[in-house]
Amino acid sequence: MQVYGLLGNPVGHSLSPRIHQAAYREFGMDACYATFEPEPADLEAAIEGARALGIRGLNVTIPFKRDAISFVELDELADRIGAVNTIDFDGDRPTGHNTDAIGARRALEHHDVTLDGARAVLVGAGGAGRAIAFALSDAGATVNIANRTESRARDLATEVPNATGHGLSDLADLLTNAEVLVNATSVGMDEDDSPVPAETLHRDLTVMDIVYHPLRTRLLRDAAERDATTIDGGWMLLYQAVAAFERWTGQEAPVDAMNDALRAEIE
Binding site for ligand NAP (CB under 6 A): 100, 103, 124-129, 147-149, 152, 184-187, 189, 195, 210-212, 233, 236-237, 240
Q: Which residue is nearest to ligand NAP (CB)?
A: 126
The CB-of-54 to ligand NAP minimum distance in angstroms stands at 28
Q: Which CB, 51 or 165, lies closer to ligand NAP?
A: 165
The CB-of-28 to ligand NAP minimum distance in angstroms stands at 27
Compute CA 161 distance to the chain's CA centroid, rounded to the nearest angstrom. 19
Q: Which CB, 17 or 103, lies closer to ligand NAP?
A: 103
Q: Which CB, 96 or 129, lies closer to ligand NAP?
A: 129
The reply to whether omega before 38 is within 30° of 0 (cis) is no
Distances (CA, A) of 75 to 47, 86, 136, 155: 17, 11, 18, 23
Q: Which CB, 46 or 133, lies closer to ligand NAP?
A: 133
What is the radius of gyration, based on Cα positions, of the chain? Answer: 18
What percent helix, strand, coil does the chain show, rounded to 5? 45, 20, 35
The CB-of-125 to ligand NAP minimum distance in angstroms stands at 5
Distances (CA, A) of 46 to 5, 53, 235, 240: 12, 10, 29, 22
Contact 123, 181 (CB under 8 A): yes
Collapse the DSSP code of 228 into the 3-class scheme (helix H, G, I; strand E, B; otherwise coil) and give the result.
coil
The CB-of-169 to ligand NAP minimum distance in angstroms stands at 12
Residue 16: count of CB within 10 angstroms of its CB: 21
Q: Which CB, 96 or 127, lies closer to ligand NAP?
A: 127
Pairing of strands 206-209, 180-183: parallel
Active site includes 65? yes
Of 20, 51, 65, 218, which is the active-site residue? 65
The CB-of-251 to ligand NAP minimum distance in angstroms stands at 22
Enzyme catalytic residues: 65
